[in-house]
Structure 1
Amino acid sequence: MTGSPLADAVLIGIVGLLVGSFLNVVIYRLPLMMERQWADECTQYAQDSGLLAQASQPAEKAAERFNLLVPRSRCPSCGHGIRWFENVPVLSWLALRGRCAACKAPISARYPLVELATGALFYACAAKWGWTATTAVWCVFCAALVALTFIDWDTTLLPDDITLPLLWGGLLASAAGLTAVPLTDAVIGATAGYLSLWAVYWGFKLATGKEGMGYGDFKLFAALGAWFGWQALVPIILLASVIGALVGIAMKFASSLRDGKYVPFGPFLAGGGFAALLWGPGRIMQAVFSTLGLA
């Protein structure tokens, strides 16, 4: 704590840049870790069922550690280990001109953008609430949403490892008085958020025989209900639906829709959560009505 609100916000924003650098690791590795876990479970089931011979060299598997901390980050093109001074948020990417120090392969601009977005969100939280526990919990909220946004966009997965702690975190933060949402409203918000999208999912599936969204969307919307209360659910879902539809239409005309012609919904739910945090549900409704030409 520096004593200056602006300096405190800048300092926490810098912490956000560092957290954003770690989120890049989470975004890339967590889906791979999930896939490996599923593959291991399938293999174990096949072995237990006698459909597959038992592995003869289990020790090799133990040596292949892969998690959020190990192995060290490397260039996917040449395997060059990223040194600490090549991993300074934003600055290293600029100094390297967006290329690997060893093989000069391009490094996606998304890495510094994730860092900048996280830093900006941390700064906004600190500017609003100062050097407080409330700032800390909302910074955790922002970090979780950033990770979920990009994981879902890349893989259409919303990992339980993030959505469920986010849900419980919102309820605990409400119970501790760290958000402006009464605990009753948070519990109702979590319940209504989950059940509303669950009902939409089953209604769409019964009507069309297709799945319009995944269970992760239910859990994410429930988490948003826990953080913002049931009153914010309608503004958030309206904003997410409108922006999602506009993006989907734009991608269709640009022929950039992926196989299956789908657009993941999680990033737009997360966007509604960011809007609720920064501007409040009332401003969201005004923005939606303006977008639809109703204002």
Structure 2
Amino acid sequence: MDILAEPAIAGLVGLLLGSFLNVVIHRLPQMMERQWAQEHAAFAAGTDAPPTPGTEAAFNLCTPRSRCPACGHAVQWYENIPVLSYLFLRGRCSACKVRISARYPLVEILTGVLFAFCAHRWGFTATGLAWAGFSAAMVALAFIDWDTTLLPDDITLPLLWAGLIASAMHWIDVPLLASVTGAAAGYLSLWLVYWAFKLATGKEGMGYGDFKLFAALGAWFGWQALVPIILMSSVIGALVGIGLKVFNNLREGGYVPFGPFLVGAGLTAMVFGPQAMLQTVLNLFGL
């Protein structure tokens, strides 16, 4: 197969999957909130029984069809072609002409580029497929956390187990012992930071989802990569936080979710390697 064919095909698959990731990013937090509401209602009623079937409309990653949030127009298949439909519609709903966020095609393009990179570096192999799956999960987690400060267990935990399995099957260049140790050390390190900060200030500096995401990164890259990843994510997070504060763009409460910066560091480690990341961070500080 031509040297450019595999990245091109993988990039096209990434664009298509990126379109689906937009649905995941938008709907998964809502699905979680509905589940919590149902559990709260069941607890308040003193029963563990699930809602009676048919009492509420189905809402999941497939149902209902995508609609314009402004006018309810059902998105047709030809309006859902990655990137091209956005350009053809000039970034507006075909019915009410309300502007569509540019983030939709950006997620599609980002996923496509990451898939093309994986195919270029590892080809159509188990390794390439593993890192493409890693990339898709990371994209979804970054945008969900930025929007909602949630890192769903439905993504972080499978990502962690996938890293351990990929290591055990020799699909990634990380020994199983380093992968298991990385998962444990990743979780415990942020767990200890969380409790130290909470005991010192009485506030929660991060959520449990961050622990699980860092554990997943430890599983994929090994314990040796944890220091470079946490250093880069902390430096970038601090710079972004300072920038948002300077321009008065901080959210209510003055917080910045940490997950997107862990994701950025994780994807950087995939592309350049953890050691190159560490050297970059050290160079920033003149070390």
- TM-score grouping bracket, smaller chain normalisation: over 0.9
CA distance in structure 2 between the partners assigned to 1:12 and 1:167 by the alignment: 23
Do 1:5 and 1:130's aligned partners in 2 also have CA atoms closer than 8 Å? no
User: What is the CA-CA distance between 1:283 and the residue it aligns to?
Assistant: 1.2
Equivalence for 2:181: 188
User: What is the CA-CA distance between 1:291 and the residue it aligns to?
Assistant: 2.7
Give me the identity figure in percent.
Answer: 65
| Amino acid aligned to 1:187 | V
Equivalence for 2:244: 251
Equivalence for 1:61: 55
User: If the length of structure 2 is used for normalisation, what is the TM-score?
Assistant: 0.97
Mapping 1:129-278, distance limit 5 Å: 129-278=122-271
Of 247, 265, 274, 1:281 maps to 274
**Per-residue Cα deviation, 1:115-155 (whole angstroms, up to 9, x for no partner):** 00000000000000011111111110000000000000000
Aligned alpha-carbon RMSD (Å)? 1.5
User: What is the CA-CA distance between 1:59 and the residue it aligns to?
Assistant: 4.8
Q: Which runs of 5+ in 1 are unaligned?
A: none
Do 1:18 and 1:89's aligned partners in 2 also have CA atoms closer than 8 Å? yes
CA distance in structure 2 between the partners assigned to 1:144 and 1:61 by the alignment: 32
Q: Secondary structure at the match of 2:28?
A: helix
| Amino acid aligned to 1:44 | A
Equivalence for 1:22: 20
Q: Secondary structure at the match of 1:48?
A: coil
User: What is the CA-CA distance between 1:32 and the residue it aligns to?
Assistant: 0.1
Q: Secondary structure at the match of 1:158?
A: coil
Query: Which 4+ runs in 1 deviate beyond 6 A?
Result: none
| Amino acid aligned to 2:70 | S
| 1:126 corresponds to 2:119 | yes
CA distance in structure 2 between the partners assigned to 1:219 and 1:134 by the alignment: 23
CA distance in structure 1 between the partners assigned to 2:157 and 2:53 by the alignment: 33
Q: Which runs of 5+ in 2 are unaligned?
A: none
| 1:45 corresponds to 2:39 | no
User: If the length of structure 1 is used for normalisation, what is the TM-score?
Assistant: 0.95
| 1:103 corresponds to 2:96 | yes
Tell me the matched-pair count: 287
| Amino acid aligned to 2:126 | A
